A and B are shown apart, each in its own frame.
Chain A
């Protein structure tokens, strides 16, 4: 029941009926364009919202991207915002734009379940800080998106509501844990969505669905109201179809929040300005120092992924960027470190779900303690596995060699980033070592070897350990499935991340001569790998270790 994946679903990309295709005229707009048309009253908010809600309701049968779609609520909000516009009130840059929220972020106007049976039907009495900010910005929150239960997982299969399908191929996963947000954005159900990123849960699904997923500096966006998975690693991030949209949403979300003690008390520059500057920059790659991690080797990732990554490096070098190897030995330990720390915090964070104060209660006839125990059996298997791992690691006999040791490695990861950023402006890598997993085989009913699945997070995890900002943008396709490239910037330099990401986005679209529009591209990509024009051999591969100079300078061709 939990891992329901309908194999009778036709394989291949999501298809739309002619009637639904009409909605694309509005839904294909970027958030930036949509907001502008709303401001100029060329589109009413009601028209915009209806198009997205109809599309979402229809495609959700195929995608299972939404746990809740609040059509009536959205309609009412849209009317209110239209009325404000009619009165000539000055509204925020994203006024009237629809947005979906990952279902582990609290909304007091829609249920918030974290895709867990243990929170079935629960609506919080408060909004998350980010929900509040988006309401204040007159955005229309119209739905809650699917995820792995409590964001625990990397494939979306661990949802009590069943897995989400990848719009690019319905028999493939949309990644995880933010499967629903990424799929919804890719399928034009919404231009923007919120995700949470603890080990890559915004970026990896973005990579699998040819969308943009950004994770801020730790503390830039308030976590108040995010149902905690691992507090020290959790970040709320943006899902969009382009870098500029993600940046504009960042401007709504960034800022100090008194309700979150880990929130940074910092004035943030405009991310929109940074992204626009990147978009408009000519030749700004020259002089830019791009870091690649020496420890990442070709055999650690799928060949198609590595080829695509080398191609992107080639494009950047061609555009004048300097490619520099940086040393980050601790990154090879990051998966073990992450799973240790995350499990410990998860164990404790999920302890509160006991049926006493909210959510369904099991064993009502039993004593309080036994009822609590029975209620907790509602957790799914992967949550249980990691909670047990955390309980084991935190036991006083194991604390030193488990939790404490992992904390020390975490410090090393921070140090490795700090050292690297003395030499380079940003660090790039593939976002994930693979393209989207098949829902038919590997994850039914559960991965045979969890460690193997955990290793799929290896490229995204270091940024969570260090709290540095990171973004994934579409970089091409391998065997018809999307790939992503990740850009990591120094702590607090989110503007640099958006600037470079925006520039690179332009460069990739320009050089690949394709766009990442599902309905324009999908059918034509079934056998496409990286386009012609450049090959992996153009760029130094395995032997670069020996040819690279000591100071990490670019190896010569």
Chain B
């Protein structure tokens, strides 16, 4: 290569570099504030400024059209489907009361948000930001969707650790018998430890007094183990053993095994009741869409306990101790259940059996990994976030101011309502969207962002078709 050619090449490289621009956001992308966390928007240690519900930007016309298309194409494909000819296989007398000929009743589709904000169809690998359920309309109207407890191990507060180990044994033996598990002792140790933690939280949650409005309904935990018996960070993918732990709160106010004393109980009561009070407030703030047919009636939050006494919102799958599911009382309206956290705190103070922790009315605790970017930002910024309360070797507790959390939750409700409404716009007389789940990440700044395909959300808002 001659000097002239080298000069030309060098010049071309310089011109190319000088023309290079940072990648621009696609016009089809959702607003940046919907999916980017503070840690990617600002440098580490910079102040975190919580934003209120009134500043939630809406997608531009192009992005909005793109979101509609993603939903519309699914409804349209269902609409093309002709009914399969069916025959009655049994005499009617042998059928159960709800029997009908076999038919395709519905479809569940998952959608994701790319790290660049593009909303699209989720493929085999990644976190589902939005999950939609379509159902065929019955002549009498849409049917209610009931969640199925898939292959679950149903626990109760009355179980002992020995009971739990006996209940887990068939799953372990199955995994070993199929040669899927190479390290039995490690699997037993890890599964027993996680089961024990889950059971401890069950016993405490069982003692939480019921409140009207939004209440603790259940606790669930899905665990995936690899061939070495180690917990894998990705749920359900590439694992050798999947275990689904499930507890449903009984209508009776606490069973025999319930724990109603101790610091953990007091903190769990405060945590559960603070969130239960914040959800209806966020709904009112966000002026959530109710007339469209889909309404928020379930809210899931990932939690962990540290130092045996502190509960907090947690994101990491390897740390999560369960997802607490809050449900709205049947027939309850937002205006019936909304009450300020300060009012709740006043009521709790009057209770003789519960000593309210000092932080209850001011903050929502988050469990973070020590050294994580968000925890670092929280410790150094001093604005918009609370102080670090306590810490152990790996995890620390960060107090998120309740006002910031409530504002973030309101924005999440707005975003969830947006997807519910767009999905419903694709409804036809025959096929309707009956459920939309939206998954969010929350930061210590109180910001709720849509979980992207590569992240792990810890909040899920469920919009269901109710009351029709």
A and B associate in one complex: no
Chain B residues close to A by CB (< 8 Å): none
Chain A residues close to B by CB (< 8 Å): none
